[in-house]
Amino acid sequence: MTPAEVVKAWKAHLPEFMPANSRFYPPVTGIRPGEVVLINANLPGVPTPVSTGVMVAQIQSLARANDPIYEFGFRFLGGSRQQERIWRHVLARLAAHFGVTGEAHMQKVCVDSRLQWSQARNVWHNALIRTAINTPARMARNLFGRL
């Protein structure tokens, strides 16, 4: 197989490669370069499949939450570990798609360790916060609306 064939299969089957408990909804137009993550086959500095018979596939994910509350959860409550499990699963399923078994190796690099306090205004759009605020009001309306 060629690197282009690997990437084509990856893009075509990404939702199927995701773990069952993970949701991924690609756009109807398909996955375009740079929209999800950087996916590579045959990396620079790695011997080519032609010379070694080995294909290398890689995911580079730059993830960052859009407000300090989600960022706290992503960093300290397991969000980043969950994302790492998802991408390892995707790589294993991609390999299995081509009849290959193996283990994904990970190299984790923190590009920016600063919290994004400048994005604090986004807390207003945080679904967790909105649910916490609206649920009691909705419950009261439902309860008193029935009397």
What is the 3-class SS of 2-22, one letter each residue? CHHHHHHHHHHHHHHHCCCCC
Strand partners, 58: 40
Of all helices (H) and strands (E), which one includes residue 57? strand 57-60
Neighbours of 125 (CB within 10 A): 10
Of all helices (H) and strands (E), which one includes residue 140? helix 127-145
At 97 the pLDDT is 92
Is residue 33 scored above 70 in pLDDT? Answer: no
Note down the domain range covering 42: 3-145
Better-predicted residue by pLDDT, 146 or 126 = 126
- In whole angstroms, how far apart are CA 86 and each of 53, 58, 82, 83, 121? 27, 14, 6, 5, 29
Q: What is the domain count for the chain?
A: 1
Q: How far, in whole angstroms, is CA 38 from its chain's centroid?
A: 11
Neighbours of 108 (CB within 10 A): 6
pLDDT in tens, 85-114: 888 898 899 989 988 887 778 888 877 777
pLDDT in tens, 55-86: 677 777 777 777 888 888 888 888 888 888 88
Of all helices (H) and strands (E), which one includes residue 94? helix 79-97
At 34 the pLDDT is 60
Q: How far, in whole angstroms, is CA 84 from its chain's centroid?
A: 8
What percent of the chain lies above the pLDDT cut of 70? Answer: 79
What confidence category does residue 44 fall into, taking pLDDT thresholds of 50, 70 and 90?
low
pLDDT in tens, 5-26: 888 888 888 888 989 888 777 6
3-state secondary structure of 53: coil
What percent of the chain lies above the pLDDT cut of 90? Answer: 3
At 52 the pLDDT is 57
Better-predicted residue by pLDDT, 120 or 94 = 94
62: Cβ contacts below 8 Å, ≥ 6 apart: 37, 111
